[in-house]
Structure 1
Amino acid sequence: MATGPKALIVRGGWEGHSPAATGQWCAQLLGEAGYQVTVSGSLDSYLDAGLLAATDLVVQCWTMGRLSAGQSAGLRTAVRAGTGFAGWHGGIVDAFREDTDYQLLTGGQFVYHPQEFVSYQVTPTAAGASHPALAGIGLYRVTTEQYYVHTAPGVEVLAVTEFAEDQDQPQLAGTVVPVTWAQRWGAGRVFVTTVGHRLADLTVPEVTATIRQGMVWATR
């Protein structure tokens, strides 16, 4: 029986991101790292102050949807008090689009992606090269959705990409866009990477390592 840090995976929302399957993948990844893992299919987990106070890391796999005022406040209060918060792709930065307080917590928000999958390079920044989340990870390529995101000025950008040519938004071509970032939120740590549209993306070795190491970094 695991006796390590306690993690809560909250998964649900839009089925196009396979929240059940990716949540299970994450649970296995954390279990292998020694975490005690609880999986929840309800945003009401964010109303349980006792649960969150006893949780060292919340991993969210919940695309779109809505948070109630109480759910939003519960999550943000827990992170500010020291509970870590982490996730990937739409499960963290295309969630709760109307909740700008939530977007302050994540430090970024999905805005656009081309209609087709593209092959793109992920490049660690100088900050990323020395950050525990990217330890041992160099340049790599993925073929999947490429997210164009808006990020807060204060986040620590760990990896970037050049946005691909896209006939619908040609003005975005060549723009350097954050892929992976981290920030402090009160006593808590927040980790985000935008790769991960499908389960196959998560099993790319560099992506798996980034998410595993990022979650460990974010843990209380």
Structure 2
Amino acid sequence: MSPDRTALVVRGGWDGHAPVACTELFLPALAGAGFEVTVAEDLEVYRDQELLARTDLIVQCWSQGRLTGPQSEGLVNAVRAGTGFAGWHGGVVGTFTDDTDYLRMVGGLFLHHPEQHLDYRVRIAPAHRDHPVVAGLDDFAVHTELYWMLTDAHNTVLATTTVHPSGPPGPEPGAGTGPEPVEMPVVWTRRWGRGRVFFSAIGHQPEDLTPPVVRTLTARGLLWAAR
């Protein structure tokens, strides 16, 4: 029996995010869900309009990269036409940072993380507990990088955490003269044209993606994003 759908895994860039090891974790889940999976380790694949048009899901793990104009146009147009796009951590929001069309499509941009990894709690958004990506999941703790990001109001935020900015506090809470704790998105979905987009900030290294709740959430997100 031939696969029902096709997925394209695009991985590479900065090796500190272990793009090969991280994406390999999810290839069995994609195959088990009926996807024929193609792996690309060159951004030129985004110029292949015929391939992208018949691709139901792009899983991207490419940190600190840069798209050419034709590559950016090919990717963004494919998602707008209905190809799903999904990924995690710096492989989505810490790359192609000078490409405004790409950043508008994914809905966020990495700004900062503390040098050390931190323990923090990820809270499922009460308004979206029935969303298929997080349905039945409880709040959970992680020990990894804590991302500070700029994000888009069009995102449907499925999970958040609290970020305590570094630097001197203001003289009074809410005085506006110093950084106060802020709720930061961790997981979101969005629509871009006819395409679906999924992002999770968790995934610096493979061990961040292997805890059952994180792995379940991420795998669900990939499948949700598919055409």
Aligned partner (choices 211, 216, 219) of residue 218 of structure 2: 211
Measured against aligned partners, the alpha-carbon deviations of 1:21-44 in whole angstroms (never above 9, x if no partner) come to 112222223123322111100111
Q: Give the Å deviation of 1:173.
A: 5.6
Q: Give the Å deviation of 1:126.
A: 2.5
The normalised TM-score by structure 1 is: 0.95
* Aligned residue number for residue 132 of structure 2: 132
Give yes or no for contact 2:130–2:136 (8 Å, CA) kept in 1: no
Task: Quote the Cα distance in structure 2 between the aligned partners of 1:169 and 1:61.
Answer: 36
Task: Quote the Cα distance in structure 2 between the aligned partners of 1:132 and 1:121.
Answer: 21
Higher helix proportion: 1
Structure 1 runs not aligned, ≥5 long: none
Instruction: Pick the structure with greater CA Rg.
Output: 2
Specify whether residues 172 and 25 from structure 1 end up closer, same or farther in structure 2 by C-alpha distance, changes over 3 A only. farther
Measured against aligned partners, the alpha-carbon deviations of 1:152-171 in whole angstroms (never above 9, x if no partner) come to 11111110000146469995
Matched residues, number: 220
Paired letter, 1:211: T
* Aligned residue number for residue 8 of structure 2: 8
Alpha-carbon RMSD: 1.8
Question: What does 1:63-102 align with in structure 2 at a 5 Å threshold?
Answer: 63-102=63-102
Specify whether residues 12 and 154 from structure 1 end up closer, same or farther in structure 2 by C-alpha distance, changes over 3 A only. same
Q: Give the Å deviation of 1:128.
A: 2.8
Structure 2 runs not aligned, ≥5 long: 171-177
Question: Could you tell me the percent identity over the aligned residues?
Answer: 45
The normalised TM-score by structure 2 is: 0.92
Matched, 1:117 2:108: no
Q: What SS class does the counterpart of residue 134 from structure 1 fall into?
A: coil
Task: Quote the Cα distance in structure 1 between the aligned partners of 2:162 and 2:26.
Answer: 28
Paired letter, 1:197: H
* Aligned residue number for residue 173 of structure 2: none
Give yes or no for contact 1:79–1:188 (8 Å, CA) kept in 2: yes
Paired letter, 2:96: F
Question: What does 1:1-220 align with in structure 2 at a 5 Å threshold?
Answer: 3-164=3-164, 166=166, 174-220=181-227
Paired letter, 1:202: L
Farther off after superposition, 140-149 or 172-181: 172-181
Q: Give the Å deviation of 1:65.
A: 1.1
Give yes or no for contact 1:132–1:213 (8 Å, CA) kept in 2: yes
